[in-house]
Amino acid sequence: MKLASQRILLLNPPHTAIGSRVPDDHLPPLGLLSIGGPLLDAGFAVELLDADLAPLAEGEIVAQVIKRAPGILLVGHAGSTSAHPTIAALATRIKEAMPEIVIIYGGVFPTYHWRDILLQCPAIDFIVRGEGEQTALQLVRALTTHGVWAAVPGIAYRDDGQPRATRQPMPISHLDDYRVGWELIDHDDYSYWGGRKAVVVQFSRGCPYLCNYCGQRGFWKTWRHRDPQLFARELARLHREHGVEVINFADELPTGSRAAWQAFLEALIAENVNLILVGSTRAGDIVRDADILPLYKKAGVLRFLLGIESYDEDTLHAIRKDASR
């Protein structure tokens, strides 16, 4: 596979599903920024095209990609299932216009459906399965140096026209080893909660529970968390240097460890920044933390959506919620 250029473009496609956008507000694509940070730190020339921001039409996106002339295109979307048809159509048009470009696709949907995608969309060359920071970096290094990618853990590709997948790597143990590439965005473009400058973050990944309706546990595998002090320091820096006001947690379970969550709240309070924190968690964790809810408020927690699927004990047991009413 010959690369016309070693420049890397991260593409956040427009999300056309109903209800995917909040009027006048837009949040940055955390997944792609998380891939971009390690690539930047490894010395690669990386750029982000957030086509969901305007949003851009397909023809405009293809023209922008041609203009930027990357050798590698990494594409993904937080709403990966409903965004997949758009991604497949874009990949086809981009590959027709730039036959030598390498297209890498990542996210929850391609992680689970890599076989079908590789069979149905010839324009997509590789799929990153699961966490992407380490895998994408290793794949890009292989493509830009020796060209031997079959040994890279966590990818899927074609071998003689047939989909193949390499072994899955161990989950990233220390989330702080890979930073978010915040410099790839203009913070003025992103807002939430009524026009306030905002970002999406993750304090933790994964969930130890086995709810049978949720696919996230199979994607993240195990629950881990960032260093509470380092994480609080990062949020404070985003506020002081870029004016960020709202922190939207993308975690499945940010409060999974009471000790770690309390340490984060205390560290953020010590930073003395005026932030609004919003996210989702389990109702049981809020009950557990009844005595430290004043810390939640002081740190800036304004809203947590709670997972309360049913008050019926039989239903809770059937969906393996591991909770009681």
Residue 246 pLDDT: 98
Q: Please give the residue that has the higher pLDDT: either 213 or 270.
A: 270
pLDDT band with cut points at 50, 70 and 90 for residue 320: low
Best CA proximity match to 36, nearest among 175, 181, 136, 140: 181
103 burial type by CB count under 10 A (0-12 exposed, 13-18 middle, 19+ buried): buried
Residue 201 pLDDT: 98
pLDDT band with cut points at 50, 70 and 90 for residue 236: very high
Average pLDDT over the chain, rounded to an integer: 92
254 prior amide bond cis, ω within 30? no
Tokens of 184: 């790839």
pLDDT digits (tens, 9 = 90+) for 6-40: 899 999 999 877 555 566 789 999 999 999 999 99
C-alpha–C-alpha distance, residues 84 and 232, integer Å: 34
Residue 146 pLDDT: 85
